[in-house]
Structure 1
Amino acid sequence: MNRFMEFIHYHFPKFAAGIYCLAIFLSFGSKTCAHSITQQETVWQLAFWANQEPACNITVKGDGIPSSFEIEAACGKEIANLWYTTPACSHPFFRSENVNDCSGLFLRKIWQKQVSDPDQQNMLETKDPLFFIHGCEPSDRCNQLPVVIFQNKSSDRNDPSSTVRIKIGTFEGECAEDECQMELPITSEEGKWVEFWSLSPDGIQGVHDRFKYRAAIVSNSSSPIYQFDLISTAYPEAAPFCSDIWQVFPQLNLQNQKIYEAPFSSDFLTTTFHLSILAGKIITHGLVDTSHCNNYGLMSDGSANGCGEKVSADMIFTMQNQYNDLLFESGIRNHVPPRIIKGMIAQESQFWPYSEIDNEYGLGMITENGIDLLLRWNTPYYMKLCKAVFPQKADRCEIQYSELPAMEQQLLRGSALQKIGTYEEIDLLGAVIRASAAQVNQIIQNITGSDCEHTASYEDLWKFTIANYYSGSGCIQNAMRITAAYQYALTWDHVQNFLSGICNHAKAYVENVYIFGNL
């Protein structure tokens, strides 16, 4: 079973048996039809840090955190006020007696389900025409080329003479029948765009839509094998991680690199990293008994020696894998590789949740500048956070973060930083990494005047993204500008040579993240 169907089986078991064609709705006009609507419902719980006892439950629609109004309505003013005045606690995942130092309340998700909404059994707008891809599923290797089927819905609009125009490279054709199918042509490793639109008899064009696909030969035997990949805004889950931002497919020689894989479940994220710094933290905090080890199991730099690592091994394994479910969910939600998130945590903090560096917080050693990056370059995350922070100023969130007054920007950054040390921290890190990918995309466009698909490879884009997270856009942008000035190709091998001063540390950082991500 390929990765796409594994994903469907894991997340949508009720539908897996019936899925063969990938149905994608794209906009060529609109049509109304009746749908049965299900909505996600989430139950949150406020509980006391002192004894872990629940204070109240709050049920909300969707998966967002409850608003102040929802908390007060469900819990009453007294509990709501206690929640508002609770200081952030930086170590809820750290299973030790120190957790008792936290005061007040904490918020946790206890239930999530899909529920039918009878009030939403109304007429919804879907998009025409409908196209299917069958014969080969995205992110799979097949012995036949994929086939695209376009359905001309003009007859449903009482306009039987309208056609669908289709363009692939230099080829352009039309579909005047109710249904037309064509075998997608073989492509290079870079892939091709398919553009299509409706055309009325009087020459009026509908909205042009497009998707990018790759059907590249990976075996030149008598029966060729094709690698099929798809980038479509209508079905983003089918695309490789962040390729929806860059419009770039992974190089075919990256197939065996674990760091880019979409795991079937959180079990595939289990690791056995040797983390001597984490072991040293465990020992110095008295969480294991190393009295029989030389120098109590510690090296002069505070990391663990061999004996210390051996004694700490069970706790090291537990601590590095306790976030796997959250890493898996963050990868799906933010469309970034979970192993990159985990590799960056391993490099930043080795899964020790307390930062000893001023102004760096949590597992990802995130800074306020990192939160600024998040809110400037990850618009969906900014919108969700903004509406939660300013529930009575919904129109405030219609403008970009950069346009907000400085005080409101600071409030948003503070609210995001409060997620450090909660179950939302891993999702926050995934969202920051996606923001970094978006910023890298814009930096490259600004420097080259061209899109990423014409200037950089998938692997180089990820290395730029990781370095940008670590050292900041100033470092990466300057190194890219020098690279472009020398007319060198925009590759990580070239760009890293122009990282100087403190920026130079990004070289080792990227290398170590890849080592962790591929273990």
Structure 2
Amino acid sequence: MRLVSLSLLLVIAGSAFASSARGSAAPAQVPPGPDRYSVTIVDYTKYFWWMIRWGEDEVECYIEVDHEGLPTPGDIYVDCGEKMYDEWVAQKPCKEADVSLCKGFYLVLVDSQPAQKEISTKLPPPIVQVTLENCTPVYTSSTSICEYEPILVLTGMEPLADYTITGIEGLYGEQSFSCGPVCRLKLPVTGEDIFTIQFWAYSSYGDSSQVFDAKIRVARRDEGNPDQTFWYVDVLSSQWAGVPIATCVGAWGVLPPIGGPPPWLSTPTQSEILGTEVPYNYLAANLIRGGAVDATSCVDGGLLPDGSASACGMEVARPAVNAWQNQFDTIILNVAKDTGVPAHLLKNLFAIESQFWPGNSIKNDVGLGQLTEHGADTTFLWNPPFFYQFCPLVMDSRECSKGYLHLNEEQQEYARLSLISAVNATCENCPLGIDLERANFSIGVFAHTLLANCEQASQVVWNYNDRKTPDQLEISYEDMWKFTLVNYNAGGGCLATAFELAAEKKEPLTFEGISPYLEPACQGAIDYVNQVSSQ
């Protein structure tokens, strides 16, 4: 990701936005950052304990606690020190009739008193929201299009009553700027390049927000009509409040092409646009076997000896095949909007993986996206938020809170198999042997699985390219998605080996440059990626 040498201009629009551009040097003071706490005095009962050795009368340690029940090991460590703590946790229970024969300590509650203490609570900090003026969000392309010169608006927001934002400051390269509670910045045209600004807000509370940044690209296009100019603006920032950025951009730092991604990586506004009429043979055969299609008019019953659909079977099954492959479109679109995973990508992936038949395959891969145990492992390892969301559905929440990596092997296996079961729509007592409710649920699971593979693919790029990120290496958005699909289909090991071998030959970091170095056992991923990206 290259930085461009262009200047930001503060836009002054009346006294409400009275601002001044300062010199080229950085601000004299580093913003202090959030520093706000609320102190509350609460009433409680203080308990006093003595720790005494068995068979002795001398008090070895005085313990004060703010809770009912015995002092915890932590209480003993704090008040009695490490040596007595070690002895306490190692000692065995006293079972002697004559307690003087026991080793170690016992505890005695000697008093309790009402008391007060201060409780410190961290308060929400000020933030800066980033929006655009003169621009319209284009949700299908995850970009913004502007009929007039785009203005970046930084708005300071103070969550605490009785306090206000006093000003915003920032940096663009070595150029600093400052303004009131709202900054309006005229954006330079950058073409394919990207520039970064930093910004923060000051509050009358006496502190500031943290330092935020935004990576911005501004491209000017006439779309074939020189009398009508448009600006395409893409903003990558944690504070961005406009059109959601394309998925995985946060992991890669790579923006989609100007104007939006290619069709196979886009999300339409209506589910009908996802509709297809592809004559899937595997799907037709399953519908015939399940009785959803009456193929008695076919001499062969609609099926060939190998179990696939015959030409006659394909013909009579066509209406049912069309209806079946499109029944998931509304949910695919909703999941795409919720997760950011492109709807066309999800639909294409399901088409190639399972032909929309969400049961077990011949290879024992499972569901619409053909999940394996290795795939479930990748999902949990590289998408921790999804693990914490799914795990409590099948395991004790206290165990889940440890995180996937900190579960024991048996628990990890149970979690993986539970995820596979959750996407397996095979059902003996359901119509056609398929639980459609479970199939619908699985669409979200596969979206999160793709997000996990985004993260792992980014790590592979980092590992085998001098610890540089995809944006630093100027890998395209589309190529990163293709690498992600290799990771999904063949595994991270296949992708890593290909990058390692290609790096030795200094090959370009494109799918065409890397894919020839996939090992023989992994080369099926080439056709897989080409099929998914050409649907």
TM over 0.5: yes
Q: Which residue of 2 aligns with 1:501?
A: 520
Identify which range, 381-390 or 335-344, moves more after superposition: 381-390
Query: Where does structure 1 lack aligned partners over 5 or more consecutive residues?
Result: 1-26, 33-122
**Cα distance in 1, alignment partners of residues 158 and 376 from structure 2:** 48
Q: Secondary structure at the match of 1:125?
A: coil
- 1:461–1:130 CA distance, 2 compared to 1 (3 A): closer
Amino acid at match of 2:210: V
Map 1:378-397 onto structure 2 (within 5 A).
Answer: 378-393=383-398, 396-397=399-400
**Cα distance in 2, alignment partners of residues 475 and 214 from structure 1:** 33
Amino acid at match of 1:488: E
Q: Which residue of 1 aligns with 2:489?
A: 470
Q: Which residue of 1 aligns with 2:451?
A: 434
Q: Is the 8 A contact 2:168 2:179 kept in 1?
A: yes
- 1:152–1:241 CA distance, 2 compared to 1 (3 A): closer
1:269 aligns with 2:274: yes
**Cα distance in 2, alignment partners of residues 158 and 291 from structure 1:** 78
1:233 Cα deviation from its structure 2 partner: 2.4
Out of 416, 420, 427, the residue aligned to residue 417 of structure 1 is: 420
Q: Which residue of 2 aligns with 1:372?
A: 377
- 1:323–1:298 CA distance, 2 compared to 1 (3 A): same
- 1:177–1:283 CA distance, 2 compared to 1 (3 A): closer
1:343 Cα deviation from its structure 2 partner: 0.8
1:150 aligns with 2:149: no
1:487 aligns with 2:506: yes
Amino acid at match of 1:464: F
Q: Deviations over 1:22-79 (max 9, x none)?
A: xxxxx964899xxxxxxxxxxxxxxxxxxxxxxxxxxxxxxxxxxxxxxxxxxxxxxx
1:451 Cα deviation from its structure 2 partner: 1.1
1:171 Cα deviation from its structure 2 partner: 5.2
Amino acid at match of 1:466: L
- 1:313–1:28 CA distance, 2 compared to 1 (3 A): farther
Q: Secondary structure at the match of 1:451?
A: coil
Q: Which residue of 2 aligns with 1:23?
A: none
- 1:472–1:159 CA distance, 2 compared to 1 (3 A): same
- 1:465–1:163 CA distance, 2 compared to 1 (3 A): same
- 1:172–1:417 CA distance, 2 compared to 1 (3 A): same
1:403 Cα deviation from its structure 2 partner: 2.4
**Cα distance in 1, alignment partners of residues 203 and 289 from structure 2:** 75
Q: Which residue of 2 aligns with 1:191?
A: 194
Q: Secondary structure at the match of 1:262?
A: coil
**Cα distance in 2, alignment partners of residues 267 and 155 from structure 1:** 42
Amino acid at match of 2:246: P
Identify which range, 473-482 or 130-139, moves more after superposition: 130-139
Q: Is the 8 A contact 1:149 1:179 kept in 2?
A: yes
Q: Is the 8 A contact 2:354 2:361 kept in 1?
A: no
Q: Is the 8 A contact 2:221 2:229 kept in 1?
A: yes
Q: Secondary structure at the match of 1:193?
A: strand
Amino acid at match of 1:427: G
Q: Secondary structure at the match of 1:144?
A: strand
Q: Is the 8 A contact 2:268 2:274 kept in 1?
A: yes
Q: Which residue of 2 aligns with 1:140?
A: 144
Out of 477, 492, 495, the residue aligned to residue 458 of structure 1 is: 477
- 1:156–1:291 CA distance, 2 compared to 1 (3 A): closer
Larger-gyration structure (1/2): 2
Q: Which residue of 1 aligns with 2:346?
A: 341
Q: Which residue of 2 aligns with 1:212?
A: 215
**Cα distance in 2, alignment partners of residues 470 and 380 from structure 1:** 22
- 1:154–1:282 CA distance, 2 compared to 1 (3 A): closer
- Report the TM-score, using the length of structure 2 for normalisation: 0.67
Q: Is the 8 A contact 2:157 2:165 kept in 1?
A: no
Amino acid at match of 1:208: V
**Cα distance in 1, alignment partners of residues 278 and 164 from structure 2:** 63
**Cα distance in 1, alignment partners of residues 502 and 294 from structure 2:** 52
Q: Secondary structure at the match of 2:389?
A: helix
Q: Is the 8 A contact 1:248 1:457 kept in 2?
A: yes
Map 1:113-132 onto structure 2 (within 5 A).
Answer: 125=124, 127-132=126-131
Amino acid at match of 2:152: V
Query: Where does structure 2 lack aligned partners over 5 or more consecutive residues?
Result: 1-31, 38-121, 138-142, 426-437
- 1:293–1:185 CA distance, 2 compared to 1 (3 A): same
Q: Secondary structure at the match of 2:148?
A: coil
Percent identity between the two aligned chains = 26
Q: Secondary structure at the match of 1:442?
A: helix
1:489 Cα deviation from its structure 2 partner: 1.7
Q: Which residue of 2 aligns with 1:355?
A: 360
1:249 aligns with 2:279: no
- Report the TM-score, using the length of structure 1 for normalisation: 0.69
Amino acid at match of 2:322: F
**Cα distance in 2, alignment partners of residues 272 and 235 from structure 1:** 39
Q: Is the 8 A contact 2:144 2:232 kept in 1?
A: yes
**Cα distance in 2, alignment partners of residues 389 and 280 from structure 1:** 34
Q: Is the 8 A contact 2:154 2:183 kept in 1?
A: yes
1:383 Cα deviation from its structure 2 partner: 1.0
1:304 Cα deviation from its structure 2 partner: 3.1
Q: Which residue of 2 aligns with 1:403?
A: 406
**Cα distance in 1, alignment partners of residues 259 and 375 from structure 2:** 32
1:487 Cα deviation from its structure 2 partner: 1.3
**Cα distance in 1, alignment partners of residues 168 and 270 from structure 2:** 40
**Cα distance in 2, alignment partners of residues 332 and 498 from structure 1:** 35
Q: Secondary structure at the match of 2:153?
A: strand
1:243 Cα deviation from its structure 2 partner: 1.4
**Cα distance in 2, alignment partners of residues 233 and 178 from structure 1:** 19
Q: Is the 8 A contact 2:283 2:321 kept in 1?
A: yes
Q: Is the 8 A contact 1:30 1:128 kept in 2?
A: no
**Cα distance in 2, alignment partners of residues 218 and 251 from structure 1:** 13
**Cα distance in 2, alignment partners of residues 477 and 171 from structure 1:** 38
1:126 Cα deviation from its structure 2 partner: 6.1
1:505 Cα deviation from its structure 2 partner: 0.3
Q: Secondary structure at the match of 2:136?
A: coil
**Cα distance in 2, alignment partners of residues 494 and 261 from structure 1:** 24
**Cα distance in 2, alignment partners of residues 161 and 298 from structure 1:** 72
Structure 1 or 2: larger helix share?
1
Q: Is the 8 A contact 2:332 2:343 kept in 1?
A: yes
Q: Is the 8 A contact 1:166 1:196 kept in 2?
A: yes
1:325 Cα deviation from its structure 2 partner: 2.1
Amino acid at match of 2:199: F
